[in-house]
Amino acid sequence: MTRDEQQLALIEALVPEGIRAIQPYKVADATGMVKLDAMENPWHWPDAMVEEWMAQLRSVDINRYPSASAPKLKAAIRKQMGVSDTDDILLGNGSDELIQIISMMVSQAGRPIMALEPSFVMYKMVAMWMGVPFVPVTLDQDFQINLVDTLAAIASERPSVIFIAQPNNPTGNLFDLASIKSIAAASEGLVILDEAYTAFSDSDLLPMLAEFPNVLVMRTLSKVGLAGLRLGMLIGSKAWIAELDKLRLPYNINVLTQLSTEFAIKHFHVFEAQTQTIRENRTRLFDALSAMQGLRVWPSAANFLLVKTERVPAKTVFERLRSHGILVKILDGAHPLLKDCLRINVSSIEENDMLLKAMAHSLIE
Ligand SMILES: Cc1ncc(COP(=O)(O)O)c(C=O)c1O
């Protein structure tokens, strides 16, 4: 056998079939493109803030391991988010890592992991990595929770965890709070309320922690402007966080992220102002796209808009936008409810205008 053949035989013997069947998470090449595909904040920091940050970075002990439990950063987050003294915070290398830690914790419970769909793909992907059955419950035609179906699925499947993104990705809408509460009340498992986009909405589910013993709230700094630093947080009772913390690799938040996020939180007004601008730009972009013939646009409480192309296939529009130098996310094929859908980041006025111009050309039949 050649070396390649030997390796293939070994992979077949050692890598579970479920993992061999997984399609890897693809990140599109965005070199030279106007990047409207990944819900990033389009702006860097003001010059004076960058200089102050650089000065602090000079003193980082890059030769030392980071603080394993990052108490200073957690204290800053606690204050910034108004986390109660009775709750604790688990930090992750992005909230992606927290989804992985949660799923790892329940992987031997002999129960499935559940999520509403369409939603964030990582819930399903991580369940597949762990070999845990994944049970999706489909949202209704307006992307709202189908409460009867969801409660029935909870009763029959008894999931160890249910992931709910509020606002939801990729649909952008907020779910009805009463439905979320009914799910939390009916579930014997954990309910993870993923508030990745909460800064762009008026929703705050932290108060649910005091009401439900099985609820944890997940947030991230990625969408408000710190995607490159990778910092996600899970907030919940001290008892839950203590169990989950056992599954965290000791130094998962590196020294540069710890210092930089602490610094950024001191300047949080900058991110709040940028978030407010995105919210205003969202209204303008929604109105402009809605006015275009052949596009349906859904209202959004996040920093992106879900649009459906009604006359030209979404794949054609996606390619045409790309040829104009604009990268958006193609969702067609990801879920039946997302047929001919694209997800488009809300950005600066300049980038939004570039998108609108390119979109007008891309919708020609
Ligand atoms: C709903 C939701 N949760 C979590 C994440 C992961 O965010 P991060 O790992 O950057 O913190 C995303 C990213 O797209 C998301 O849409």
* pLDDT tens track for 67-95: 999 999 999 999 999 999 999 999 999 99
Tell me how crowded residue 251 is: count the other CB atoms within 10 A of its CB. 12
Nearest-angstrom CA–CA distance, 112 and 160: 6
Same domain, 122 and 33: no
| Residues 135 and 189 reside in one and the same domain | yes
DSSP 309-359: ESSS-HHHHHHHHHHTTEE-EE-TTT-GGGTTEEEEE---HHHHHHHHHHH
Distance separating alpha carbons of residues 361 and 365, to the nearest angstrom: 10
- Work out which ligand 1 atom sits closest to the CA atom of 39: 14
User: 116 and 251: one domain?
Assistant: yes
For residue 64, report the distance from its CA to the centre of ligand 1, in Å: 29
For residue 131, what is the domain's CATH number? 3.40.640.10
Q: Atom of ligand 1 at shortest distance to CA of 223?
A: 10
219-264 pLDDT tens trace: 999 999 999 999 999 999 999 999 999 999 999 999 999 999 999 9
> Is pLDDT of 23 > 90?
no
Residue closest by Cα to atom 2 of ligand 1:
196
What's the pTM value of the predicted model, to 2 decimals? 0.96
Q: What is the domain range of residue 228?
A: 64-266
Does a structural domain hold residue 137? Answer: yes
Residues 255 and 296 in one domain: no
One domain for residues 192 and 118:
yes
Looking at the fold, whether 98 and 149 belong to one and the same domain comes out as: yes
C-alpha span between 42 and 215 (Å, rounded): 32
Cβ–Cβ under 8 Å, residues 193 and 216: yes
Give residue for tokens 């944890």: 216
Please tell me the total count of domains within the chain.
2
Residue where a domain stops, chosen among 239, 266, 293: 266
**Mean confidence (pLDDT) of the chain:** 97
Domain boundary among 231, 266, 301: 266
Cβ(189) to ligand 1 under 6 A? no
pLDDT digits (tens, 9 = 90+) for 321-357: 999 999 999 999 999 999 999 999 999 999 999 999 9
Residue 222 CB–ligand 1 contact under 6 Å: yes
Task: State which of 244, 266, 288 marks the end of a domain.
Answer: 266
- Based on the fold, state whether residues 231 and 293 are members of the same structural domain: no
Looking at the fold, whether 226 and 285 belong to one and the same domain comes out as no
Please name the amino acid found at residue 149. Answer: D
Q: Which residues contact 283 (CB under 8 A, 6 or more apart)?
A: none
- Mean pLDDT value across residues 144-151: 98
Pair (182, 97) in one structural domain: yes
Looking at the fold, whether 153 and 234 belong to one and the same domain comes out as yes
